[in-house]
Amino acid sequence: MMKNKNRKIGLRPSALDKIIGAPLTALEDIKQLMKFSIRTKISISYLIIFTFIFSVTTGFLVAGYIYSVKTQLYEKNFDVVEQVLSLVSEEGLVPDVKDHLSRIYIDQNIGVLIQDRNGEESYANSPLYPIVNYDSLKGSGFFKDIFPLLDLASYELMPLEFDLDTDGKATFFFEISGEINLGRRMCAILGICYFVGLMVMFLFGGIKTKQVISPINMISQTADNINSQNLDARIDVGKAKYELKDLAITINEMIDRIQDGYKKQQRFVSDVSHELRTPISVIDGYANMLDRWGKKDPEILQESIDALKNEAANMGNLVERLLFLARYDRDVLKYEIKSCNISEIIEEVAKETQMIDSDHKVNWLIEPNLYVLGDCDRIKQVARIFADNAVKYTPKGKHIDFGCFVKEGYAAVEVKDSGIGIEKKDLESIFERFYRADESRNKQTGGYGLGLSIAKIIVLQHKGKIKVKTKINRGSIFSAYFPLQKNKTP
């Protein structure tokens, strides 16, 4: 029973496919067929525009030609027309007048149709079909004039209508084979012009379109070639024109930025791995030493424990900083914003430095009660980063000065040392992650090259500024400017 049911369900998709699959595929096929390339679409648009302009121009030309033929016919046959109009108006369709009209048809080949005010009682001097049935040939509205003309053109006749004084109407039909022939020749020439124009448009438009849109193919090919392993490909900007040139430049710049970001990420991962290798090998070394000799030797035991604690603290510190940067990159850094007495914060850091570091003379000059709105712990972290560097890069016995004062409308925090200074070429890079200027000079100080990059993030996220002034072997001044809290004045 169960088997049967399953089989039925199993059959369903293919059965459905058979019923609706075929029309669907056909529809897809049609859609696929209708997918013209952008080049074909542009060419078709050119042709449509060309045909439209050509038709309008031709329409005006034909209308103008018909108008001029009518005027000429009237001027040429003015006497006949006037004579007939006055005769019929004055005497009516008496036998003499009818006789006169039939002679006009025989002698001059001019058909005349007379109708009374209701169009009922009519007379035609010719048995010719279009003359007798002129009224029924007429359409209505806009095409009223055109349709009888089209029909009459095959009889090579041109009608001219005149009102009679007796409220009736007289229509004259003139023979216009010469004009029709000229018109036909004109149409033939116009037709040839149209087809030549069409071909030129098609070929020239096609070539031009190809030239203009060829960068699009290049862009898609380049985009196809780009992946994480190959970010070097760029679009050849020289071949693009107009807005496509701007597009190509924008895309190239975008790839530059992606490549830059990708390289930074790769460098970051390799730097982190590199930084973690050292403490791991130190821990490994001490663990081995403990294993071999340390169990019974209390001195080695203590040294190893101290070293392991130290390395653990170092690694903890590194991981803490990396977490900060990772949170910043993911845009999930949280700040506890409140009113901070920055003067007190800097004084605390200065006193703290004086206490820990007996190798330098630490001084401070602090304007009291300056307030900023921000995360007090993070602001303190910036001051500590500056202080830590000043201590690390200043020879023993020299002085380190802390300052906190109002400058340019900001609360400025300044840490001035009399240390080794920084070379000009390094100044741009010291705020980058893992950058350490002159590794050989820095070797003995230790550090990961992360402090200043973190300080910069904190200051900028507080809408502040960070500055450095330095002179080789004379010292450096690192300053952070935080916007003063407006309603809190000292």
**Interface residues with ligand ATP (CB under 6 A)?**
385, 389-390, 392-393, 417, 419-422, 430, 435-437, 442, 447-453, 476
Q: At 159, phi and psi to the nearest 5? A: -85, 140
Nearer to ligand ATP, 65 or 435 (CB): 435
Contact letters for Mg ion, residues 334-373 (x by CB under 5 A): ----------------------------------------
* Smallest separation, CB 401 to ligand ATP (Å): 12
Helix (H) or strand (E) holding 340: strand 338-341
- Residue (448 or 481) nearer to ligand ATP, CB: 448
59 binds, among Mg ion, ligand ATP, none (CB under 5 to 8 A by kind): none
What whole-number distance in Å separates Cα of residue 212 and Cα of residue 203?
14
Q: Which one-letter DSSP state was computed for residue 485? A: P
Residue 451 touching Mg ion (CB under 5 A): yes
Shortest Cβ distance from residue 482 to ligand ATP (Å)?
Answer: 19
Q: How far is 355 from 60, CA to CA, in rounded Å? A: 100
The Cα 152–Cα 105 span in angstroms is 17
CB of 419 to ligand ATP, least distance (A): 5
> Closest distance between ligand ATP and the C-beta of residue 342, in Å?
20
Residue 458 CB, nearest approach to ligand ATP (Å): 13
- Where does this chain touch Mg ion (CB under 5 A) — which range of 14-22, 269-277, 383-391, 398-406? 383-391
Residue 403, beta-bridge partner list = 365, 414
Q: Where are the alpha helices (DSSP H) in 357-400?
A: 376-392
Query: In terms of DSSP bridges, do strands 361-366 and 371-374 run parallel, antiparallel, or are they unpaired?
Result: unpaired
**Which residue, 190 or 427, is less far from Mg ion as judged by CB?**
427
The rounded distance, in Å, linking the Cα atoms of 259 and 332 is 24
The smaller minimum CB distance to ligand ATP, of residues 108 and 445, is found at 445
Closest to ligand ATP by CB, 297 or 352: 352
Of the ranges 159-167, 207-215, 244-252, 446-454, which one interacts with Mg ion (CB under 5 A)? 446-454
d(CA 128, CA 332): 95
Least distance in angstroms from the C-beta of 454 to Mg ion: 9
Q: Does 389 bind Mg ion (CB under 5 A)?
A: yes
Query: Closer to ligand ATP at the Cβ: 248 or 383?
Result: 383
Q: How far is the CB of 284 from ligand ATP (least distance, A)?
A: 22
Q: Which does 244 bind (CB under 5 to 8 A by kind): Mg ion, ligand ATP, none?
A: none
Assign residue 340 a region (left: φ > 0; alpha: ψ between -120 and 50; beta: otherwise).
beta
152 versus 391: smaller Cβ distance to ligand ATP: 391
Dihedral through CA 161, CA 164, CA 169, CA 170, nearest 10? Answer: -60
* Amino acid occupying residue 427: L
**Min separation Cβ 451 and Mg ion, Å:** 3
How would DSSP label each residue in 9-22? HHHHHHHHIIIIIH
Residue 406, strand partner residues = 411
> Under a CB-based contact definition with an 8 Å cutoff, are residues 418 and 394 in contact?
yes
Q: Are 484 and 370 in contact (CB under 8 A)?
A: yes
What is the DSSP secondary structure assignment for residue 20, as one 8-state letter?
A: I
Closer residue to ligand ATP in complex, CB, 21/447: 447
> Pick from ligand ATP, Mg ion, none: which does 390 bind, CB < 5 to 8 A by kind?
ligand ATP
Which residues, in sequence order, are CB contacts of 282 under 8 Å at separation 6+? Answer: 307, 311
Which residues here bind Mg ion, judged by CB under 5 A?
Answer: 389, 451
